[in-house]
Amino acid sequence: MKRTINSILTLVLLGGIVFTSCKKEDLIQGGHDLEDWTAATHGYNADPDYDVVFNQNKVHRLDIVFEKEYWDAMQSDLDALMASMTGGPGQGGFTEESPMYVPCQMYYEGKQWYDVGIRYKGNSSLKNAYQQGLGKLPLRIEMNHFENENPNINGQTFYGFQQLSLSSNFKDVSFLHEKVAADVFREFGVPAAHTAYYRVYVDHGEGPVYFGLYTMVEVIFDRPLLNNQFTIGGNCYKPDSEGARLNDVNQINTTYFPNKTYEGASLSDIHQLVNALCDDIRTSNPVHWRTELEKIIDMDKYLKYLAANTTMKNWDTYGRMTHNYYLYNNPASGKFTWIPWDNNEAFADGPPGGGGGPGGPGGGSMNALEFDFSSIATTPLSSTGDITWPMISYIYADPVYKAQYDAYIDEFITTVFTVSNMSDKFTTYHNLIEPYVIGAEGEISGYTNLTSPSDFTNSLSSIISDVTNRVVEADNYTP
C-alpha cells in the first residue's frame, strides 16, 4: 500500500525504523465492504477456512509487498544475526535470537491484508541458504503482529489463521518432503500440520520477483490447529536444545521449553513427564512405570508417531536432533500429545556429519535411525545418568511398547505407506507443481535450490524408489 502523509495514523519507533499505519478508510479502497471483508476473510472470529488456505488441488499465489525501509531493515537484521554466529556470517552454529518482524502488505486472490508481520525463520534452512546467497529463505507470517501499532488490524487473520509458516523446501529437490510427510502423518492418525503449495512473489521496491515455490505450513500452536485436532487451551511447548532430550529434569526451563500458548506458565507438567520417563522403576516394576507414564502422555499416539517417523526416515528430529517437535498438553485428556514439525528432511538420509558427536546438532552421521534403533546415540548422559534419548531408548527397551511399535510399523506399511499409495501421492503433487518449479513459469536463478531442471525431473523416480526400498526394510524388520 502506497501511503501518503494523510494516511498516517501513528508513528512508532520500531527497531530503528518508523512504523506507519493506515486509516480505516484505506482498508475499504477498491470497493471492499469493510464489515463483510473483516468478518469473512480477515477477522479474528472468521472460521478457519481449510478449503481455501490449504486447498490441495491448486498451487496458490501469494504476493508480499514491502516498503523499502522495512525491507532494508529486515535484511540488515538478518546480516547482523548471521554475523553474530561463531566464525562469521553463515558459519558455525545457529543463533538463538529470532529475526525481527517487519510490516508488509499481503495480497491473495484480489484481496489485501494490511501491515502483516513477517520475518525470516529456520535454522539450517535459513543459515545455509543465506550462506549460499539465495534469496529464497523460509518465512514466518503473523497476521496481527502489528495490531498494537495499528488498531485497525486488531485480530487480523488470513481466512481464520493468525500464524502461518512458509517452508522453502531447502535441500529437497522434489519439493515433496514437507508436504507429503505431514499428509501421511495425519492419514495414519498422528496429529500434524496441514500444508499446501504457494508461489511467493515479493516486491521490495522494484516490482514483483518470483521468490519460488514454497510449502505453506499450518503453525502448531495457532488456534485453528488446536481447535481442529484437539481442544482449545492447554500448554503447547516447542522443545529445543539440551532440554529437548527429555533426559534431565534440571534442563527443563523456559529457555529450552518455551510455552507457545501460555507464556510464563509453570513447567510442572513437563517436569512430571521427564520424571516419570526417567524413573528407575521402569526396570524394577515396568508395569507401574508404564501406568504412571501413560497418565501423562498419550503413548498410543506417540508409538504411532514413532513407527511412522522411523519408517519415513525422518531424521531431523528427536533421536538425532534436539528440536522439531511439539508437546501439547491436551486438557480434554490431561495428557501430552507428541506433534511432529519441520518435516523437510523426511524420506532421505541426512548428511554424513562432522564434529559434535553422534546425534547432536550438526555433528555425527545423520543417517535415518534403524528400526531397532541400534545406532542411536547413548551419550551424553544427563546429570542424573539417564541415557541421551530416553523417549526412544527406554520405550523400545520395554517389551510391551516394543511390540506395539512393531505392530504399528506393520499397520503403517500395509495401509498408508504402501508403494501404491505413496507413488500416487508423489506423482500427483509432482505433476501439480512442475510448471512452477521448472519451465517458463518456474523458479529463477538466485531463488532456487535446484542446480538444473533435471534435479526436479529425476526426483520423482528417486523418491518412489527410496520408499519402495524402505517398505521392504520395514517388512523385513517386523516379526
What does the pLDDT read at residue 361?
Answer: 40
What is the tens place of the pLDDT at every residue in 216-235? Answer: 999 987 766 666 666 667 88
Q: How far apart are CA 15 and CA 95, in angstroms?
A: 19
Of 138, 215, 152, 134, nearest to 1 by C-alpha is: 152
Of 423, 412, 230, nearest to 306 by C-alpha is: 412
What does the pLDDT read at residue 122?
Answer: 81
For residues 202 and 208, is the Cβ–Cβ distance under 8 A? yes
pLDDT over threshold 70, residue 159: yes
**Could you tell me which residue, 53 or 41, shows the higher pLDDT?**
53
What does the pLDDT read at residue 124?
Answer: 79
Share of the chain above pLDDT 70, in %: 84
Of 298, 296, 307, nearest to 185 by C-alpha is: 307
b (16+ CB within 10 A) / e for 203-226: bbeeeeebbbbbbbbbbbbbbbbb
pLDDT over threshold 90, residue 263: no
**Could you tell me which residue, 364 or 42, shows the higher pLDDT?**
42
Residue type, 283: T
What is the tens place of the pLDDT at every residue in 409-430? Answer: 999 999 999 999 999 999 999 9
pLDDT over threshold 60, residue 267: yes
For residues 201 and 211, is the Cβ–Cβ distance under 8 A? yes
Please give the average per-residue pLDDT across 108-127, as a whole number.
91
Q: How far apart are CA 200 and CA 122, in angstroms?
A: 17
Q: What confidence category does residue 96 fall into, taking pLDDT thresholds of 50, 70 and 90?
A: low
For residues 306 and 405, is the Cβ–Cβ distance under 8 A? yes
pLDDT over threshold 80, residue 353: no
What does the pLDDT read at residue 40?
Answer: 72
pLDDT over threshold 80, residue 95: no
Owner of C-alpha cell 511447548: 237
In angstroms, the Cα distances linking 358 to 349, 355, 397 are 14, 8, 20
What does the pLDDT read at residue 229?
Answer: 65
User: How long a stretch of residues is the chain?
Assistant: 479
**Could you tell me which residue, 5 or 289, shows the higher pLDDT?**
289
DSSP notation for 236-285? EE---GGGGG---GGG-STTTS-BSSSTT---HHHHHHHHHHT-THHHH-
Q: What confidence category does residue 348 fall into, taking pLDDT thresholds of 50, 70 and 90?
A: confident
In angstroms, the Cα distances linking 413 to 12, 310, 377, 467 are 56, 12, 26, 10
Sign of the Cα torsion 196, 169, 182, 328 reads negative
Phi, psi of 388 (to 5 degrees): -65, -45
**Could you tell me which residue, 288 or 379, shows the higher pLDDT?**
288
Query: 3-class SS at 105?
Result: strand
What does the pLDDT read at residue 254?
Answer: 86
Q: Count the helices and strands in the chain (H runs, E runs).
A: 14, 12
Q: What confidence category does residue 173 fall into, taking pLDDT thresholds of 50, 70 and 90?
A: very high
- Which residues on neighbouring strands pair with residue 13, listed in sequence order? 18
How many other C-beta atoms can be found within 10 angstroms of the C-beta atom of residue 372? 12
For residues 235 and 257, is the Cβ–Cβ distance under 8 A? no
Residue type, 130: Y
348-352 — which CB contacts under 8 Å span 24+ positions?
Answer: 348/177, 348/313, 348/466, 349/313, 349/315, 350/315, 350/316, 350/320
CA dihedral 319, 323, 325, 329 (to 10 degrees): 110
pLDDT over threshold 50, residue 17: no
Alpha carbons within 13 angstroms on the beta-carbon side of residue 122 total 27
**Could you tell me which residue, 236 or 464, shows the higher pLDDT?**
464
The mean pLDDT of the chain is 86
The pTM of this model reads 0.89
b (16+ CB within 10 A) / e for 4-42: eeeeeeeeeebeebebbbbeeebbeeeebeeeebbeebb
What are the sequence ranges of the domains in the chain? 48-229, 236-413
What does the pLDDT read at residue 60?
Answer: 98
Lowest mean pLDDT, pick from 15-29, 180-194, 243-257, 340-354: 15-29
Q: How far apart are CA 79 and CA 90, in angstroms?
A: 9
b (16+ CB within 10 A) / e for 103-140: bbbbbbeeebbbbbbbbbbbbbbbbebbeeebbbbbbb
Share of the chain above pLDDT 90, in %: 69
What does the pLDDT read at residue 156?
Answer: 93
What does the pLDDT read at residue 141?
Answer: 97
What does the pLDDT read at residue 362?
Answer: 38
pLDDT over threshold 60, residue 44: yes
pLDDT over threshold 90, residue 98: no
What does the pLDDT read at residue 4?
Answer: 28
What does the pLDDT read at residue 359?
Answer: 39
